[in-house]
Amino acid sequence: MNMSFLQELFSNITQRDALQRKFGNKKRSYDHRDLITACEELLHSDGEAASIVLASRALDIYQSLGDEEKQAFFEVLAKQFSADPDRIDKAYRDYRNDRSNKHLAVLFDVAEPLRQELLRRLNLAQGATYELVKMRQDFLALMKGHKDFESINADFVHLFASWFNRGFLVLKRIDWTTPASILEKIIRYEAVHKIEGWDDLRRRLDNRDRRCFGFFHPAIGDEPLIFVEVALTKGIPNRIQPILADEQYDIDAPELADSAAFFGISNCQVGLRGISFGNFLIKQVVQELKQELPNLKNFVTLSPLPMFRSWLEKTYHPDSGLLTPEAQATLSLLDNPDWAANEELQNRLNEVVRPLAARYLLKEKNSENLPLNPVARFHLGNGAELHRINWLGDVSENGMKQSAGLMVNYLYVLENIERNNEKYTMNGEIVCSPSVRELGKLGRKLFQGELEK
Amino acid sequence: MNMSFLQELFSNITQRDALQRKFGNKKRSYDHRDLITACEELLHSDGEAASIVLASRALDIYQSLGDEEKQAFFEVLAKQFSADPDRIDKAYRDYRNDRSNKHLAVLFDVAEPLRQELLRRLNLAQGATYELVKMRQDFLALMKGHKDFESINADFVHLFASWFNRGFLVLKRIDWTTPASILEKIIRYEAVHKIEGWDDLRRRLDNRDRRCFGFFHPAIGDEPLIFVEVALTKGIPNRIQPILADEQYDIDAPELADSAAFFGISNCQVGLRGISFGNFLIKQVVQELKQELPNLKNFVTLSPLPMFRSWLEKTYHPDSGLLTPEAQATLSLLDNPDWAANEELQNRLNEVVRPLAARYLLKEKNSENLPLNPVARFHLGNGAELHRINWLGDVSENGMKQSAGLMVNYLYVLENIERNNEKYTMNGEIVCSPSVRELGKLGRKLFQGELEK
Amino acid sequence: MNMSFLQELFSNITQRDALQRKFGNKKRSYDHRDLITACEELLHSDGEAASIVLASRALDIYQSLGDEEKQAFFEVLAKQFSADPDRIDKAYRDYRNDRSNKHLAVLFDVAEPLRQELLRRLNLAQGATYELVKMRQDFLALMKGHKDFESINADFVHLFASWFNRGFLVLKRIDWTTPASILEKIIRYEAVHKIEGWDDLRRRLDNRDRRCFGFFHPAIGDEPLIFVEVALTKGIPNRIQPILADEQYDIDAPELADSAAFFGISNCQVGLRGISFGNFLIKQVVQELKQELPNLKNFVTLSPLPMFRSWLEKTYHPDSGLLTPEAQATLSLLDNPDWAANEELQNRLNEVVRPLAARYLLKEKNSENLPLNPVARFHLGNGAELHRINWLGDVSENGMKQSAGLMVNYLYVLENIERNNEKYTMNGEIVCSPSVRELGKLGRKLFQGELEK
Amino acid sequence: MNMSFLQELFSNITQRDALQRKFGNKKRSYDHRDLITACEELLHSDGEAASIVLASRALDIYQSLGDEEKQAFFEVLAKQFSADPDRIDKAYRDYRNDRSNKHLAVLFDVAEPLRQELLRRLNLAQGATYELVKMRQDFLALMKGHKDFESINADFVHLFASWFNRGFLVLKRIDWTTPASILEKIIRYEAVHKIEGWDDLRRRLDNRDRRCFGFFHPAIGDEPLIFVEVALTKGIPNRIQPILADEQYDIDAPELADSAAFFGISNCQVGLRGISFGNFLIKQVVQELKQELPNLKNFVTLSPLPMFRSWLEKTYHPDSGLLTPEAQATLSLLDNPDWAANEELQNRLNEVVRPLAARYLLKEKNSENLPLNPVARFHLGNGAELHRINWLGDVSENGMKQSAGLMVNYLYVLENIERNNEKYTMNGEIVCSPSVRELGKLGRKLFQGELEK
């Protein structure tokens, strides 16, 4: 297939933005009733002749509204742009009489909320896809406390899951030659380890020992959906600070690395919450890296352990009486803000905290019998293995507060991903390295009395 | 927005095809049960870890099947990949008790045939979108006589309408610098006036007095969805033969044209039947042309009148007694295969056939009170005006047989499109030029007795 | 012509850089004799089989040398890579006997210094063109005091003038979607009004009221050769500070501008000194802007008046006795560092300094009878008109020190460029606006005694 | 480096062509004197302001001239656009007095024919580079018999060698996704084995077992300079007909090939005659193929043996008495037009013709002691090895007539290229396979009396 032809295709998408209905919302002030009227006109149009113009107009009006009017609009959406009960009743009756595909199709059709057709039609306008994503972002912020809004949310999710199907996403390397307009979004959207500005970004994108990839969608142009940052290292890294620091390089050519460490995955579009890309991203990036750098042997994350410390404090509260007095006393050293700087304290804590972290990851489950820790849930659910728990892996303020300074390596072994995933989803089994397992066992000694597990 | 960045995005899409699961279907022979098993595995996967591989495998198996096995597969699809009646019953009960959005959402959810989720998951594989379009093409061929297949068709249409939403399509000019791999498809897909080979194609794409545009979809790469051919002329053309002939040029620079004549619109993907693009295409092409060539004043079609002659013969059969004896006698001259070459016959026929054609276009309606002629229905529905009926507009064998040699100009006046469309959809009113109206009136004299209309 | 095909062509150029002989110069340390040997091998190769490798090796060695060794290399170049006196003598004798083209061609051929062939062969290596530009940059720094180096310089200039012929340059718009790797060079190379960082750059590239264009050369990739910054304004601007400030916008859409003000032209490659692009750049940018923004009426510069103040002080030194005592007294107010802030001083100075500036621009010539001021020489030589001298146009420290705060508008009227240029080159005539002429006349009153001009 | 940025650069080049001075030459008819005047104006312009317009005008006039007027123009060029004898005399005197670089530089400068500056200035116009190449094409056709034109030719060569330096060329794969506008040039320019039309071309570009690469120059857009056709095969092919035939494929995926056979190299631009690219092309293509298809082991040509048969007939004319009577009798069988179809004749001829061909290639030299056969000279000069002489390698009419049906494989072994080239250039040594050497020895027996060689 000819790449360049395809590439040209996309001039349009870009030109559309150039046209942007810039003066659209200046003419007069609108309220939510104007928007409802515009939406009704759009739905009553034959879907063809005038639809693009009407869709464009409705989006213009929407953009001009303040939060209150937007909320009012969503309220009307929830109430009036639903489905026709009479038609549903009739379709169901027919279906009950004859449970044929034909009657099912009708039932499905009439049960579809009008909102979905509305969203599809709004999408006819130039640049509309991104505006609908932003509309959902507004919506999520306004949704709290509105039980009825759940259904609107379901409509968004249903359509976005279809539109942002993995088959339509495009993986793109991001580096220092990427347009500044995209790079500034990388700075803004980085959610895990803050990027401090352009110089910091430049270090993060240095070709010698870094890689960054993102998913993009043809119709929303230069807006990344999600991106991942990778450090190329010799050996599996156990600390984040050297990676974030603008300091000496471990290696000065990517070919010298044997490990690729994923140290940050950031979702960029609040409006796409619930549409998951991260798992596809990691696996595809592993393949890209394998192809570019055949020397790479380990594909691993360097991940935080969010909520670990608060869980620790709650679970092993002195009143709980779970730990041995010694272990309990050691644990309380965490309250000393300078423990990490004091070698003795540090060593003592190491012997308690890491084993407890191993147990936390291996044993603590949520109501669905999946790991309590969301990051663990994500990577283990993707088929990764729990590889190592790193002491003093993240000594930033945030790292100390959230993860008691720990960082975790999850290992992606392509050949094992499917099997791991199967074990995990079937039996809730967590594949982990012997050292982590050992660490978990070590934890037993910290407890008072017998431990069944 | 940065065009080149966007353009790079699409290297992926193309590379994916390069990987094409080429050897996939050689290993052993499969039957439809293997495919069903593969589909079930895909549906039971968690949708993430292994889904891409499973989707890919299912599509490989599908491709390796012969028609009979494909049909058997669709039969199982129709029966078993439907929805769960018990869940529907329960959801409906809940909805009847409380007609809330929440219950509606559940009902909609459980009424969705499992097939739709299956298609969405199949789409995870590389290059799957196009393969699903081809799957529907197979399906449409196998569908005849299978009542139950209607529902599968509805599932395809529901998803494709969402995936091929106008907002995701890209308009692309096609010319002699377009990759040969796409141009050969233009030759193959041209449905209105056959392209006789590369030399003929070259004439059709000559920048001096021709334009060609197509819609493409990012995920199906270099496969055009639909394209339109345009001749740039001085004055509105009334005959197709000079345009198709490889002869002298009316103008030798596009700036000299005052008219753009759309003389062929070809849908390329049978698998997308029912997903309409043509109207969007024409309007966007009008805008592109306006911008490139500000001298253009008329945007017009040069369209056939398919089925006119068979309608003529059936309606004004000598037995019908509708026409005056004279008119009837003249009409019978059409049976003379050489009438077009005989000036006298030709002139006599002109006085009968053109008026009848005007009446045919203006008065003959289908059951929905829309014009009987499908081409007229398409353009008038788009907001075009019936501008002129051209005598001896297409003297090819096909043109004579289908359209009695007539060609019709439909005029697109951008400012009037919405108003025309409104008149048409609201009141069934056909906007036409005075000359066509006059022609229609002239027709009255051909009838026996009084004519109320 | 198909743009995308062309675009693909250039993947090579880029890939070459990727290969960059990265480890080449690490192996051992070289001196200039190694380089001379490498150059000789390159010249003795048949120019085909091994040449690329040899060229690459020579450039590697060159890059690894320190300044002293580079200088030693250039010294050998000057001495030994010249031409063969005997062959020149013979060729000249033949030419004197028969002044035919044939003998001239031989003479030209043998008089070409070997260095030129060496440079052409070095250019065979990947990415060599840019490395040769950087070699000349080194060379220019080392050239001072070396009379013999003039000739090497002439060789560089001869070849570069051919390689960087206008016909090979490409104009490219630079904006916020340009790759960061290029933008950081814009920040670095801006020579007229310093860019303070990425935020400042972003303001300078804001599509609403700014444009920036540069010339690039296919073989030296993403290195700009020269670029120009343009402000889109209502009316011809008279002050630079509002343009440089990150403040309110005059206009919020480019269509609202009637003027395009060129406020900075920066040459980027020291190694291309003496190869002039600026004049071509301005004219092509004027055409680009005209096409994009038909509302633009004025194409004008906002230029400094470098060296004006030092000229003023030298020419009208109190001892010179040229000015009237009053004028002389006023002029001395310039020594007051705060004069610009003092309205009275400012007004008094205005009446003396601006008229003297007008005379400076109109009357003061260099030895070739061209304006003394280099900026004036550049723009007037390009066919621009001297339009306005702006009081307090640049109140920055540098602006006050160099230009006494003045800024000058030179006006480019496309229709007049050729005529102006002819007047200027033929008769040394400077086309200027009536107001500047008036200002010049006004200046007469400042002088003691009669003034003939 | 950012590929896409670079790619965008070239929109300009393309747009320039779009502007093409289309109506330029219609206004009135010109003769060579108008052109001379235009050229003089261009040379007298200051090279900046008006030069682009003047260059453009001169090229327009040139294009409008007929052959006679072009010839008259070149005659004036030869006479009047030479160099100034007085300045040369003075520069030489200075140089003789002091053979410094400075005086050499002046001599070189004044000895440069004015034509070279004229060509550089003509190149300022849009699209001029290609027009100058075509101008030289005209010129070469008109040159015969004009001794004085040699010098003009030298000027073209001098400039083109600099402009088309390998460092500025871009290698590009050509396949079925290449724009039709380029592919039609491939059909037209193929010089070795005629391409019979689009279907034939398609076979030649089939990705499964074919590759095609060309060199392009950024400033002459989509015009290939030279291209090479490659067949991917199992084993080194010995016959061209199966490769040219549209028949069964040896392999159905490129990965299955172990050999890449270069079976056609075609120069496209007559106007670039004497500027050699072929050697660079072959070596770069070998590298590209190695990278894409690591399984490839042999890089080899399948080359004709042009002029062999005429050499054979002349050298071994019956009157020469060189061959044994038996050999001579066998050789005369070549006159039988159907010998190839007759197994007996064929076998007998094989025993005479192949050994003589081996001797022809190994022993027959031109005046510079290089192989008489131009194809051998080219490949052996590039460092290839004489690998095999194939009986009935090309049984086309042309192949029989020129090469007595023989085809030759020259083998490119990257590691040996430099060494082979050195042997060849230093000692005239031809590296060949044992089998060819054996064949050469076998030849001895065909001769009457003793043979020293």
The CATH number linked to D195 is: 3.40.630.180
The reply to whether residue B78 touches residue A101, judged by beta carbons under 8 angstroms, is yes
**Which residue, D108, D133, D163, sits at the end of a domain?**
D163
Q: Which residues in chain A are closer than 8 Å to B6, comparing Cβ atoms?
A: 7, 10-11, 13-14, 218, 221-222
Counts of helices then strands in chain D (DSSP H, E): 21, 7
**Which residue, C256, C282, C301, sits at the end of a domain?**
C301
Best probe of the D interface among C5, C171, C174, by most D CBs < 10 A, is: C5
Subunits next to C (3 or more Cβ pairs <8 Å) are A, B, D
The reply to whether residue D105 touches residue C179, judged by beta carbons under 8 angstroms, is no
Point out the catalytic residue in the list C32, C193, C217, C379.
Answer: C379
The reply to whether residue A3 touches residue C8, judged by beta carbons under 8 angstroms, is yes
Q: Answer whether residue D12 is part of any domain.
A: no
The secondary structure of residue A305, as a DSSP letter, is -
Q: Answer whether residue C22 is part of any domain.
A: no
Q: Which residues in chain B are closer than 8 Å to A154, comparing Cβ atoms?
A: 105, 109
- Same domain for D182 and D292, yes or no, is yes
The reply to whether residue D181 touches residue B181, judged by beta carbons under 8 angstroms, is no
The reply to whether residue A8 touches residue C3, judged by beta carbons under 8 angstroms, is yes
Q: Answer whether residue C9 is part of any domain.
A: no
Q: Answer whether residue D13 is part of any domain.
A: no
Structural domains counted in chain A: 3
- Cβ pairs A/D, distance under 8 A: 8
Subunits next to D (3 or more Cβ pairs <8 Å) are A, B, C
pLDDT digits (tens, 9 = 90+) for D270-309: 999 988 888 889 988 998 999 899 999 999 999 999 999 9
**Which residue, D264, D286, D301, sits at the end of a domain?**
D301
- Same domain for A425 and A313, yes or no, is yes
- Predicted pLDDT of residue D427: 83
The side-by-side arrangement of strands in the sheet containing B170-173 is B170-173, B210-216, B226-233, B259-267, B298-301, B407-411, B385-390
pLDDT digits (tens, 9 = 90+) for A158-178: 999 999 988 899 999 999 999
Of C2, C177, C178, the CB nearest to B177: C2
Q: Which has the closest alpha carbon to A303: A201, A225, A378, A397?
A: A378
Q: Which has the closest alpha carbon to B210: B267, B155, B249?
A: B249
- Same domain for D139 and D173, yes or no, is no
Q: What is the mean pLDDT of residues D87-93?
A: 96
Encode chain A (453 residues) as per-residue pLDDT tens digits: 333 443 444 433 333 333 333 334 445 689 999 999 999 999 987 645 578 888 999 999 999 999 999 999 999 999 889 999 999 999 999 999 999 888 999 999 999 999 999 999 999 888 899 999 999 999 999 988 787 788 889 999 999 999 998 889 999 999 999 999 999 999 999 888 999 899 999 999 999 999 999 999 989 878 999 999 999 999 999 999 999 987 767 788 999 999 999 999 999 999 999 888 888 899 889 989 998 999 999 999 999 999 999 999 999 998 888 899 999 999 999 988 889 889 999 999 999 999 999 999 999 999 888 899 999 999 998 889 999 999 999 999 999 999 999 999 999 998 888 888 888 888 889 999 999 999 999 888 888 865 544
- Predicted pLDDT of residue D6: 39
Minimal Cα distance from D178: which residue of A? A2
Q: Answer whether residue D19 is part of any domain.
A: no
pLDDT digits (tens, 9 = 90+) for D224-239: 999 999 999 999 999 9
Q: Which has the closest alpha carbon to A9: A219, A162, A205, A153?
A: A219
Q: What is the mean pLDDT of residues B73-80?
A: 92
- Same domain for D171 and D278, yes or no, is yes
Which parts of D31-174 fold into alpha helices (H)? 32-44, 51-64, 67-80, 85-97, 101-111, 114-122, 128-143, 149-163
The reply to whether residue D12 touches residue C172, judged by beta carbons under 8 angstroms, is yes
Subunits next to B (3 or more Cβ pairs <8 Å) are A, C, D
- Among chain A, residues having any CB pair with chain D shorter than 8 Å are 1-2, 5, 177-178
- Same domain for A205 and A314, yes or no, is no
Q: Which residues in chain A are closer than 8 Å to D178, comparing Cβ atoms?
A: 2
Minimal Cα distance from B101: which residue of A? A151
Element (H, E) at D388: strand D385-390
- Predicted pLDDT of residue D452: 45
What is the pLDDT confidence band of residue D14, given thresholds at 50, 70 and 90?
A: very low
The reply to whether residue A418 touches residue B14, judged by beta carbons under 8 angstroms, is no
The reply to whether residue D5 touches residue A177, judged by beta carbons under 8 angstroms, is yes
Task: Tell me if residue C146 is catalytic.
Answer: no
pLDDT digits (tens, 9 = 90+) for D145-197: 787 788 889 999 999 999 998 889 999 999 999 999 999 999 999 888 899 89
Structural domain for C292, as ranges? 167-301
pLDDT digits (tens, 9 = 90+) for C339-366: 988 999 999 999 999 999 999 999 999 9
What is the pLDDT confidence band of residue B147, given thresholds at 50, 70 and 90?
A: confident
pLDDT digits (tens, 9 = 90+) for C179-236: 999 999 999 998 889 998 999 999 999 999 999 999 999 888 789 999 999 999 999 9
Q: Answer whether residue C8 is part of any domain.
A: no
Question: Both tokens of residue B244?
Answer: 């198709």
What is the pLDDT confidence band of residue B444, given thresholds at 50, 70 and 90?
A: confident
Minimal Cα distance from D7: which residue of A? A4
- Predicted pLDDT of residue B359: 93
- Same domain for B133 and B214, yes or no, is no
Q: Which residues in chain A are closer than 8 Å to D5, comparing Cβ atoms?
A: 177
Spans in chain C with pLDDT lower than 50: 1-26, 47, 452-453
Amino acid at D30: Y
- Same domain for B171 and B158, yes or no, is no
The reply to whether residue A113 touches residue B124, judged by beta carbons under 8 angstroms, is no
Question: Both tokens of residue A22?
Answer: 């810039």
What is the pLDDT confidence band of residue B167, given thresholds at 50, 70 and 90?
A: confident
Helix, strand, coil tally for chain C in percent (to 5):
55, 10, 30
| Virtual torsion, Cα C339, C345, C348, C352, nearest 10 deg | -20
Q: Which residues in chain D are closer than 8 Å to B253, comparing Cβ atoms?
A: 22
Of B105, B128, B216, the CB nearest to A9: B216
- Nearest-Cα distance to chain C for A201, in Å, is 11
How far apart CA A90 and CA A101 sit, in angstroms, is 16
Question: Both tokens of residue B366?
Answer: 């289908």
The reply to whether residue C151 touches residue D102, judged by beta carbons under 8 angstroms, is yes
Of B78, B104, B163, the CB nearest to A113: B104
- Nearest-Cα distance to chain D for B260, in Å, is 21
The reply to whether residue B183 touches residue D178, judged by beta carbons under 8 angstroms, is no
Task: State the Cα angle at C370 between C367 and C373, rounded to 5°.
Answer: 100
The reply to whether residue A48 touches residue B276, judged by beta carbons under 8 angstroms, is yes
Of A154, A166, A170, the CB nearest to B13: A170
Q: What is the mean pLDDT of residues B19-35?
A: 64
- Predicted pLDDT of residue D188: 93
- Same domain for C361 and C249, yes or no, is no
The CATH number linked to B339 is: 3.40.630.150
Q: Which residues in chain A are closer than 8 Å to D2, comparing Cβ atoms?
A: 177-178
Neighbours of C161 (CB within 10 A): 15
- Same domain for D325 and D441, yes or no, is yes
Q: Answer whether residue A19 is part of any domain.
A: no
- Predicted pLDDT of residue D151: 84
pLDDT digits (tens, 9 = 90+) for B328-371: 999 999 988 889 889 999 999 999 999 999 999 999 999 888 89
pLDDT digits (tens, 9 = 90+) for D23-79: 344 456 899 999 999 999 999 876 455 788 889 999 999 999 999 999 999 999 998
pLDDT digits (tens, 9 = 90+) for D393-426: 999 999 999 999 999 999 999 888 888 888 888 8
User: What residues pair up with C213 in beta bridges, in sequence order?
Assistant: C173, C228
How far apart CA D308 and CA D322 sit, in angstroms, is 17
Of A3, A7, A181, the CB nearest to C176: A181
Of the listed ranges A334-338, B19-23, B137-141, C258-262, the one predicted with least confidence: B19-23
The reply to whether residue B120 touches residue A161, judged by beta carbons under 8 angstroms, is yes
The CATH number linked to B78 is: 1.20.140.90
- Predicted pLDDT of residue A451: 52
Task: Tell me if residue C317 is catalytic.
Answer: no
Q: Which has the closest alpha carbon to D282: D258, D304, D300?
A: D300
Q: Which has the closest alpha carbon to D384: D346, D420, D419, D356?
A: D420
- Same domain for C423 and C314, yes or no, is yes
- Same domain for D145 and D236, yes or no, is no
Minimal Cα distance from B5: which residue of C? C177
- Cβ pairs A/C, distance under 8 A: 44
| Virtual torsion, Cα B149, B154, B157, B161, nearest 10 deg | -170
- Same domain for A321 and A339, yes or no, is yes
Point out the catalytic residue in the list D303, D320, D433, D435.
Answer: D303
Predicted TM-score (pTM) of the model is 0.86
Question: Both tokens of residue B264?
Answer: 């062929």
Best probe of the C interface among A25, A181, A187, A222, by most C CBs < 10 A, is: A181
- Among chain D, residues having any CB pair with chain A shorter than 8 Å are 1-2, 5, 177-178
How far apart CA B91 and CA C348 sit, in angstroms, is 89
Q: Answer whether residue D7 is part of any domain.
A: no
Best probe of the C interface among A176, A206, A209, by most C CBs < 10 A, is: A176
- Among chain B, residues having any CB pair with chain C shorter than 8 Å are 1-2, 4-5, 7, 177-178
The secondary structure of residue B422, as a DSSP letter, is H
Q: Which has the closest alpha carbon to A71: A156, A135, A154, A158?
A: A135
Give the DSSP per-residue string, D63-100: HH--HHHHHHHHHHHHHHSS--HHHHHHHHHHHHH---
